[in-house]
Amino acid sequence: MTGKILAVIVGSLLLGVGVNGFLVPHHLLDGGMIGVGLIIHYFYGFPTGLTMIIMSVPLYFLAYILERKYFFHSLTGLMMSSISIDLFAPVGKAIHLGILPSAIMGGILVGCGIGLMLRYETSTGGMDLLAQLIHKFFPVNVGILIFLLDGLVVVSGLKVIGMEKFIFSLLTITCVGLMTSLCVIKRENIT
The candidate with the shortest Cα–Cα distance to 11, out of 95, 69, 76, 93, is 76
Mean pLDDT of 28-53: 94
> Does residue 12 contact residue 80 with C-beta atoms inside 8 Å?
yes
- pLDDT score recorded for residue 71: 81
Summarised one tens digit per residue, pLDDT across range 71-125 is: 887 888 899 999 999 999 998 888 889 999 999 999 999 999 988 888 887 878 7
Between helices 32-44 and 142-156, what is the axis angle to 10°?
10
- pLDDT score recorded for residue 62: 86
- Calculate what percentage of the chain has a pLDDT beyond 70: 95
Tell me the HSE value of 13 on the side-chain side, using a 13 A CA sphere. Answer: 5
Mean pLDDT of 31-49: 93
Between helices 99-119 and 163-190, what is the axis angle to 10°?
30
The per-residue pLDDT of the chain, averaged, comes to: 88
> Which letter, b or e, does each residue of 23-53 get, where b requires 16 or more Cβ atoms within 10 Å of its Cβ?
bbbbbbbbbbbbbbbbbbbbeeeebbbbbbb
Q: Is 186 exposed, middle or buried (0-12, 13-18, 19+ CB in 10 A)?
A: exposed
pTM (2 decimals)? 0.88
**Interatomic CA distance for residues 124 and 113, integer angstroms:** 9
Domain boundaries, the chain: 2-190
Is the pLDDT score of 30 beyond 50? Answer: yes
Terminal alpha carbon distance of the chain: 16
- Calculate what percentage of the chain has a pLDDT beyond 90: 51
Is the pLDDT score of 188 beyond 50? Answer: no
